[in-house]
Amino acid sequence: MEPDEDLGQIADEIYANGDENSQRHRPIISGEQLDIELYAALYSGRTKIMRLLFIADRCGNASMQLEALRMAYDEIKKGENTQLFREVLQKIDGRLGPNYGPDPAWSDAVDRRAELRKEKLENELNAYRTNLIKESIRMGYNDFGDFYYAHGQLGEAFKNYVRTRDYCTTAKHIIHMCLNAILVSIEMGQFTHVASYVSKAEQSQDALESLTVAKLRCAAGLANLEAKKYKLAARKFLEVGPELGNNYTEVIAPQDVATYGGLCALASFDRAELKSKVIDNINFRNFLELVPEIRELIHDFYTSHYASCLEYLGNLKANLLLDIHLHDHVETLYDQIRNKALIQYTHPFVSVDLNMMANAFKTSVAGLEKELEALITDNQIQARIDSHNKILYARHADQRNATFQKVLQTGREFDRDVRSMLLRANLLKHEHILRASRKH
């Protein structure tokens, strides 16, 4: 390889990349199977159950599936959602023994209590509406929203939460309404509603507490992630303050903020942004400490240790595919991160030995050639491949030649302008001027 002079400062790091004898042998933390119990402990409420059911549907491992279903069964029994209970029973299908079978006594008791509670709420709301007490009506609709949410009727819950808007008398009431609407919208997968209510809540800047701001940024990050706007998603997650802690576990864990934000940043930020907005971001560093493998792979990517970075990604992939929000984006994010690594690797050099590069990326030369061909075709790398000698030649602009050409062009333009001025001066001197004829 022949490094360019102006980009030589990172060349040494890249030369070292892929060295089999390198002393950088770090253990891969998340290579093992997901610990479902520890994972579920990060969440609360409905999202905990839905994440467990998602793992059960996707994991492809019988013992892991049954463990997730067992935990989901136990969690549902703490609540009042009999419809979800019946769905879990169908999935278990008697495989967990008699202790995890139908419980008609529990279901009937919950349904009876629900009917009585609903009747009571209707009577109270009708009384409030008769008396035209705005605050009481707002609370009545809010209670109905909580009731429907607890019983899994998300559409009805959303309607009732939104109805409180007409009876909000303070900015805090509006923010409370927005947070409830955001929670239900995330559960329903309606992320356009999430973005809309985040914007509405942010309009009440004076009433926003730091924790509420952190929650809204998490919600906005999820909405942008779902819309595949990875750069915007990264920015939102990176702006989440340390106040979040474990105060939004009904939606997201702080570990998720690090994972989602880190991967989206790797896929969409350039080198300078990665340094200033991620690595040097003190607030985000606190989140990264919770997920050391994400922290390490970001540092490896920035320092051009791509083999180690891609190894971390490879070991994380199986668990990331079990994430309810990230699973659809894993392949896209991984492709973008790998392409950025390939581009960044080739950028400082005039020529690159494909055998060394393949070793650095732990791939075959043939596979690497195909990846580089796609990037060259897409005009993301300006280079050509010598397939016989297995060398990539960069098409860097010839700065010396370009400077000479620019000087010559400037000289020609100056010569033309001077000649034009002399000609005009001579014409004026000898009165060779076309005068406009006067109108009479």
Strands 383-386 and 351-353 come out as unpaired
| Segments in the chain below pLDDT 50 | 1-31, 440
Helix (H, G, I), strand (E, B) or coil at 331: helix
Q: pTM of the prediction?
A: 0.78
Q: What is the pLDDT of residue 112?
A: 93
The per-residue pLDDT for range 161-176, each reduced to its tens digit, is: 999 988 888 889 999 9
> What is the spatial distance between Cα 57 and Cα 51, in angstroms, rounded to a whole number?
10
Q: In what order do the strands lie in the sheet with 391-394?
A: 351-353, 391-394, 383-386
Cα 194–Cα 195–Cα 198 angle in degrees, nearest 5: 85
Which of 258, 247, 246, 266 is CA-nearest to residue 283? 258
Write out the two tokens for 301. Answer: 């990517």
CA distance readout (Å), 231 to 45, 255, 263, 267, 306: 30, 19, 10, 8, 21
Q: What is the pLDDT of residue 392?
A: 77
What would the DSSP string read from start to end of 38-77?
Answer: HHHTT--HHHHHHHHHHHHHH---HHHHHHHHHHHHHHHH
> What is the spatial distance between Cα 30 and Cα 3, in angstroms, rounded to a whole number?
36
User: Which residues, at least 6 apart from 174, have a Cβ–Cβ distance to it below 8 Å?
Assistant: 165, 168, 200, 201, 204, 207
Write out the two tokens for 326. Answer: 């990230």
* CA-based torsion, 409, 414, 420, 426: positive or negative: negative
Q: What is the pLDDT of residue 20?
A: 41
> What is the spatial distance between Cα 313 and Cα 263, in angstroms, rounded to a whole number?
9
Q: What is the pLDDT of residue 397?
A: 56
> What is the spatial distance between Cα 78 and Cα 110, in angstroms, rounded to a whole number?
11
> What is the spatial distance between Cα 373 and Cα 350, in angstroms, rounded to a whole number?
17
Within 343-414, strands assigned E span 351-353, 383-386, 391-394
Q: What is the pLDDT of residue 271?
A: 86
The per-residue pLDDT for range 346-399, each reduced to its tens digit, is: 877 777 888 888 777 777 788 788 888 888 877 777 777 777 778 877 776 567
Q: What is the pLDDT of residue 18?
A: 45
Write out the two tokens for 3. Answer: 């490094």
